[in-house]
Chain A
Amino acid sequence: EAGVAQSPRYKIIEKRQSVAFWCNPISGHATLYWYQQILGQGPKLLIQFQNNGVVDDSQLPKDRFSAERLKGVDSTLKIQPAKLEDSAVYLCASSLVRGSGGAHEQFFGPGTRLTVL
């Protein structure tokens, strides 16, 4: 089974520039997550989609970050304009929608390492 795909793997930009990350979840996974992982810290949820609808974007800095999942499959996360503190690894994860019981595992992609200079 193919895992979560992300691109690019690395990106270096200057502050105030824009950047976009792409994620392709595991086939059939309805739920998609974007996380920000700052060096030395655990991942922090930015936004969660179920199909093409937003479930939780309470921790997304909406003045500069945006995300979409137009057809309920692939997703893009954009930062415009970038700040120095946005330097981090951006992780995408996907999971099945939970059924009648049990927890569904989130599968993570390899992440995109963003460096803002």
Chain B
Amino acid sequence: GESVGLHLPTLSVQEGDNSIINCAYSNSASDYFIWYKQESGKGPQFIIDIRSNMDKRQGQRVTVLLNKTVKHLSLQIAATQPGDSAVYFCAEKKVRDFGNEKLTFGTGTRLTIIP
């Protein structure tokens, strides 16, 4: 069945350093992979996605890498800031008929930025 999992439940990083959050997936039929950030008391917020036929995509301070050979996804955050402290989820998206899309989320990694 479908499953998206994360290697580490918690990660602490010094402010200004780079952080890498990893995710393993098992469903090769996914169309997109997405990273969400969830702060306490808020809903998940879209960070960046990558289409399944791509290997790398860059955004502002974030880079997502997709390795389909080993079914591994990672989120790199450059020059971390206190505001980056949150729980990060990877999710896989399957696009279905008529524009309908299904998201399957992993468990999440809590990132803590140390001042």
Contact = CB atoms under 8 A, between A and B. Distances in A.
Interface string A14-45: 00000000000000000101000000111111
Contact of B99 (A43, A44, A99, A107): A99
Interface string B37-81: 000011111100101000000000000000000000000000000
A21 B75 CA distance: 33
Contacts, number: 68
Contacts of A95: 101
A104 interface: yes
Interface residues of A, number: 28
Contacts of B31: 103
Contacts of A98: 95, 99-101
Contacts of A40: 107-108
Nearest to B5: A42
A48 interface: yes
A75 interface: no
Contacts of A4: 43
Contact of A110 (B43, B46, B93, B98): B43
16 contacts: A31-B99, A42-B4, A42-B89, A45-B103, A48-B100, A93-B43, A98-B100, A103-B31, A103-B49, A104-B101, A105-B46, A106-B101, A108-B44, A108-B45, A109-B43, A111-B42
